[in-house]
Amino acid sequence: MTKRIYLDWNAGAPLRASVAARLAESFGRVGNASSVHDEGRRARAAIEAARRSIAALVGASPRCVTFTSGGTEGAATVLAPRWTFNGKPLDFDRLLVSAVEHPCVARGGRFAADQVETVPVDRDGVVDLSALDARLAALAAEGQRAFVSIMLANNETGVIQPVAEAARLAHAHGGLIHTDAVQAAGRIPVDMAALGADVLTLSAHKIGGPQGVGAIIRASEFLAFPPLLTGGGQEAYARAGTENAWGIEGFGVASEEAAHDLRHAPAIAARRDRIAAAIRRVSPEAVVFSEAAERIANTLSVAVPGLQAETALIAFDLAGVALSSGSACSSGKVSASTVLLAMGVPADLARSALRISIGPSTTDDEVARFEEVFTRVHADLTKRKGSRAA
């Protein structure tokens, strides 16, 4: 049986061998990290070691890392209309999000629906900084403060957003900025100070860690969000509930390795571009989205006009290739991508979009096999389409 080809790294990267090995060791460990006995202290030590590794991945202080169940919980927690700075309330009247955010941000977290506004993007999916500046200025003139949320790298197109510039604008108008760095970590340098981000969120399974664990990272320990989960004093009272010690330990191991993944970026980009070229050879009318924008190396969003993504995904899966049509969090609802629609892509073309995302362990042989499969699938689906039209 031919081995399957996994080209859906943005949905979830394969578990790293080093993480699997560490998890195999830690599964046999007993002890609650909040307990004072030796077993509890060992669990606590493992969590704190991971906290240091994750903080180092983004250039932050370990004291500013709060563990969560993933990126969605992180966004739901930090997108709140009241924070505190040095113990004093810091209130926000509006949440401004880019038009291409992941659903966990686009839905506004704890802001009321009428407090959430969308900032447009250009045809390549890059946020319109002029529009952001104008809206921030208008709100400031009305005596209102805005919280801004702009992702660092888009999960569908791979576009890298100008977060540092957006942060300068937000701060100039008295606001704060959150960035969803889930797809960026391990793929581009992530440094909180350079970005100017006040808070960012991460998810372990995007960098080869276990599913079900993530982190909120603040730029300053004096800046605090209201807990989403209250109860016990875990995570310095920022997130109640017994910590997922096993998952956190695996997250730490993945973070240590992800810090070294940047060296693979040129080879990954070359394979991505090879895939795009192969698709265009077979289908010259294929459209590669955001090709003119700066993108993370591993992500390709492409559409062949007239071939519906839903049908194509099934055909690829049956042929042994795993890929997606957009955000994995929208799977089962194959429709026009809201990201592409925000970029001005016609709905019919957006419904044909496929997302191909690869990683450091993707091989040249897998790329060659994908080229062969794409050729067969394209021929088959084009033939079927022609038969239906006859």
pLDDT digits 0-9 by tens, 303-326:
999 889 999 999 999 999 999 986
pLDDT in tens, 121-153: 999 999 999 999 999 999 999 999 999 999 999
Q: Which residues contact 197 (CB under 8 A, 6 or more apart)?
A: 163, 167, 177, 178, 179, 181, 219
d(CA 77, CA 67): 11
Please tell us whether the domain made up of 5-14+264-389 is placed in CATH 3.40.50.300. no
What is the pLDDT, as a whole number, of residue 384?
73
What is the pLDDT, as a whole number, of residue 2?
74
What is the pLDDT, as a whole number, of residue 227?
97
The answer on pLDDT for 390 being more than 60 is no
Active site residues: 329
pLDDT band at 1 (very low <50, low <70, confident <90, very high): low
What is the pLDDT, as a whole number, of residue 317?
97
What is the pLDDT, as a whole number, of residue 329?
54
This prediction's pTM: 0.95
What is the pLDDT, as a whole number, of residue 198?
98
d(CA 102, CA 184): 13
pLDDT band at 334 (very low <50, low <70, confident <90, very high): low
CATH architecture for segment(s) 17-258:
3-Layer(aba) Sandwich (3.40)
Mean pLDDT, residues 324-346 taken together: 78
d(CA 155, CA 179): 13
What is the pLDDT, as a whole number, of residue 389?
53
Average pLDDT of the chain is: 95
CATH 3.40.640.10 in the chain, residue ranges: 17-258
d(CA 127, CA 288): 19
What is the pLDDT, as a whole number, of residue 183?
98
pLDDT band at 29 (very low <50, low <70, confident <90, very high): confident
d(CA 252, CA 75): 20
* Token pair belonging to 33: 């990290």
Sign of dihedral through CA atoms 373, 378, 383, 388? positive
pLDDT band at 378 (very low <50, low <70, confident <90, very high): very high
d(CA 32, CA 131): 49
What is the pLDDT, as a whole number, of residue 27?
87
CATH 3.90.1150.10 in the chain, residue ranges: 5-14+264-389
The answer on pLDDT for 327 being more than 60 is no
